[in-house]
Chain A
Amino acid sequence: MKMQVKLPQLAPEMASAVIVAWLKAEGEPVAAGEALFEVETDKVVSSVEAEAAGTLEKILVPAGEACSVGSVVAEIEG
């Protein structure tokens, strides 16, 4: 079952963030609660955890790119 990973809203006024790094590669397994990627917004770097277990199937927004809150950044095959 394909699950979408979206850029979460870390703070009320946050509209977008830069993807700093992907901590997993495409094809790698991901555990629920495991840190999946890091983002930066307004000088804050935050790691974002995977909500459910599965395999990281596709990274849609590569490291170094900015995207809006709510955008789908990756897909996980659960």
Chain B
Amino acid sequence: MQKEPKAPVHSPCQGCAEKRQASQRARQQSAEFPTLAKPKWLKVKYNPGATREVVELMNQYQLNTVCKEANCPNLGECYSRRTATFMILGEQCTRSCRFCNVLSGRPAPPDPAEPEHLAAAAKTLGLLHVVVTSVTRDDLPDGGASQFVAVVEALRRELPQATIELLIPDLRGRWEALETILAAGPDVLNHNVETVPELYHEIRPQAIYERSLEVLSRAADYAVEHPLPRGRMLVKTGLMLGLGESDEQLSRVFRDLVAHRVDVLTLGQYLQPSPQHAPVRRYVSPEEFDRYREEALAAGLSFVAAAPFVRSSYRAEEALAQVRAESSAPAN
């Protein structure tokens, strides 16, 4: 979590000056767009009991869940469905996207024990669907791909029945690193486009829209060429709404996603993690989410989860089961 800048006790250095400027900018932005009151459909009830078991286990194994890091409102529900999202490769990210609650900074080398710990925890929790994501590691030559591969291998050993979903960064366009991840054989390959291309420079300055699309189409091509015993690998992506995108801009993204052979789309409401993050420009109503869902399905996507609280891995296991059931041949 971001700390509030302390009042200077020494003559102001560049670091403090920059922090002051950043909070001034954040305040100015809020002044231009006074914080919208949260609509009633976004008020959530937390169930602390359900999550206690998981939090204790995470601490024991020194693991991170992005659920906790990103302040996810669905914490209780997912854990009760035996789905959890683990974040590997540390807590510090090499990028600074304006929507994300994860710390930016210089990260530590990958922990070689992490794959085993993760698999052990997943097994203890009796997980049915394991989602693995990471901070972006532009500092590593392979972007962290080998750690993803090691995690998949450990999970397949310890929990052969569980389905595995990988939510990966763009690896800066290092395609052979992507290939190693695809070759590990996850059930779902998820890479989030996050927002419309027009907002990239503001929201995702270190990413390139076409590069993210290429991650998805390469995954789709790989999936077709390498069927898995349980069914084809699915390709998934997600966007957050409320960052300032227009309907036309979204329609274009839906078309692009279909052209790049994406199967599953998640659409959720962007919530501002702190005043330093990008402000919420609008709260999208459940009815509008339904409309977007219809439009995305009509454009050609196979499964769309669209609602204020949807996040990438929300009901992930359900999407996988549904799409696989629909595309499997009738009993022969």
Interface residues of A (CB under 8 A from B): 6-7, 13, 15-16, 66-72
Contact = CB atoms under 8 A, between A and B. Distances in A.
A69 B208 contact: no
Interface string B193-215: 00001101110110111110000
A15 B197 contact: yes
Contacts of A68: 197, 200-201, 204-205, 207-209
Contacts of B202: 70
Interface residue SS majority, chain B:
helix
Contacts of B198: 15, 69-70
A32 to B, nearest CB: 24
Interface string B223-263: 00000000000000000000000000000100000000000
Contacts of A72: 201
A71 B201 contact: yes
5 contacts: A15-B209, A16-B200, A66-B211, A69-B197, A70-B202
The 9 closest A-B pairs by CB, nearest first: A15-B197, A70-B201, A68-B200, A15-B209, A71-B201, A68-B201, A16-B208, A66-B208, A16-B210
A13 B208 CA distance: 14
Contacts of A66: 208, 211
A70 B244 CA distance: 15
A7 B210 CA distance: 15
Contacts of A6: 201
A4 to B, nearest CB: 11
Contacts of B205: 68, 71
Nearest to A12: B252
A67 B208 contact: yes
B74 to A, nearest CB: 30
Contacts of B209: 15-16, 68
Contacts of A70: 198, 200-202
Contacts of B211: 16, 66
Interface in B262-309: none
A57 to B, nearest CB: 18
B115 to A, nearest CB: 32
